[in-house]
Copies of this chain bind each other. A is one copy, B any other.
């Protein structure tokens, strides 16, 4: 039923191979015949059969992406970037949600392997060994995970954390809490690493909690712990957790930012529009997705040098309304009578 290359060939009075060449390696056919072929193809609405093409070329024109949790807007951001960049190069994208399960991640990549030219694995939970074994079965690019000999797009979480620390120190904070995300998340390890280094330099003492689920509920849970410790600032692993913290603090009548500063990571839409607007580190989500596809494609089309190429993306602290000067550290002389909910700014 669908129109094949032979239909076009017949209409253009040439052989199928000429049609094929006219459509791909156009410099191999004479100008006039090429025009004839193109016209015929257009009139018939010819669309090459990707299965047949891929069978012989060994390439599919598809890439895959697997993310840990589609409910987190961070990943939908990189998804947008991935899809836009892929489309720009004529690639279609397979998508799958690993649901934060290493085994599922691996299974999904393996299932995709036969029909894609490569897959970008986003902030994977899988182990190094699992990832390496996956790299053997298809071309791999990582996002926010560093592994020797596997290309990756990396967001500078440590640098973002340094900015956070400088910001808090400048506001006179001396003791803050860090709410850990998942331990096996590279981003969390980077943030912690950056935090420790910068905090030591800035003479900021840090107490860590967690790990917690990197979600709203995790933040709610963590808030009470941090509050009990008497810190003046809370740095959450990501915005979702920070929003949970904000919500819990409001419930407990702790005024933000007067009594407690809060900062998150990611710069989700909701960080900008919640009350009060959240101070956070902007992660380049779409740019990260595009960069990952860049690397993947250059590893596929290109000379294949890219085995060890990593791309770093910068991050920026965005100061909004949840950070302020540390309260003159007299926790005791503040009676704090009010139990109301945090007011809108």
Partner of A83, one of B52, B97, B273, B342: B97
CB distance from A76 to the nearest CB of B (A): 5
- The answer to whether B93 and A94 have CB atoms under 8 Å apart is yes
- The answer to whether A92 and B71 have CB atoms under 8 Å apart is no
Asked if A47 lies at the interface with its beta carbon under 8 angstroms from chain B, I say yes
Asked if A50 lies at the interface with its beta carbon under 8 angstroms from chain B, I say yes
- The answer to whether B83 and A50 have CB atoms under 8 Å apart is no
A71-101 interface mask toward B, CB cutoff 8 Å, 1 = contact, 0 = none? Answer: 1010011011001100100001111110000
- The answer to whether A273 and B243 have CB atoms under 8 Å apart is yes
Query: Which candidate, A13-21, A109-117, A182-190, A200-208, is the interface stretch facing chain B?
Result: A109-117
Query: Which candidate, A155-163, A244-252, A325-333, is the interface stretch facing chain B?
Result: A244-252
Query: Given A70-B79, A83-B96, A93-B95, are A247 and B275 neighbors across the interface (CB < 8 Å)?
Result: yes
- The answer to whether A71 and B71 have CB atoms under 8 Å apart is no
Q: How far is the CA of A274 from the CA of B244 in the complex (A)?
A: 10
- The answer to whether B94 and A269 have CB atoms under 8 Å apart is no
CB distance from A198 to the nearest CB of B (A): 30
Partner of A80, one of B54, B70, B113, B276: B70
Nearest B-chain residue to A72, judged by Cβ: B76
Partner of A250, one of B95, B250, B344: B344
Partner of A274, one of B51, B54, B95, B274: B274
Asked if A60 lies at the interface with its beta carbon under 8 angstroms from chain B, I say yes
A304-345 interface mask toward B, CB cutoff 8 Å, 1 = contact, 0 = none? Answer: 000000000000000000000000000000000000011011
Residues of B within 8 A of A276 (CB): 341
Residues of B within 8 A of A342 (CB): 275
Asked if A49 lies at the interface with its beta carbon under 8 angstroms from chain B, I say yes
Nearest B-chain residue to A244, judged by Cβ: B273
Asked if A209 lies at the interface with its beta carbon under 8 angstroms from chain B, I say no
- The answer to whether B275 and A250 have CB atoms under 8 Å apart is yes
- The answer to whether A94 and B95 have CB atoms under 8 Å apart is yes
Residues of B within 8 A of A25 (CB): none
Residues of B within 8 A of A97 (CB): 80, 83-84
Q: How far is the CA of A105 from the CA of B334 in the complex (A)?
A: 58
Q: How far is the CA of A52 from the CA of B51 in the complex (A)?
A: 7
Nearest B-chain residue to A79, judged by Cβ: B70
- The answer to whether B114 and A47 have CB atoms under 8 Å apart is yes
In the complex, chain A residues 232-258 whose Cβ is within 8 Å of any chain B Cβ: 243-244, 247, 250-251
* 21 A–B contacts from the bound complex (CB under 8 Å): A49-B55, A50-B114, A51-B52, A51-B54, A51-B55, A51-B60, A51-B115, A70-B80, A73-B73, A73-B76, A79-B95, A83-B95, A92-B96, A93-B94, A93-B95, A95-B95, A216-B273, A244-B273, A250-B275, A251-B344, A251-B345
Interface residues of chain A, those whose CB is within 8 Å of chain B, are 47-52, 54-55, 60, 62, 70-71, 73, 76-77, 79-80, 83-84, 87, 92-97, 111-115, 216, 243-244, 247, 250-251, 269-270, 273-276, 341-342, 344-345
Given contacts A71-B73, A274-B274, A275-B344, 12 further A-B contacts (CB under 8 A): A49-B55, A50-B114, A55-B55, A70-B76, A70-B79, A71-B269, A84-B97, A92-B111, A94-B95, A243-B273, A247-B273, A250-B344
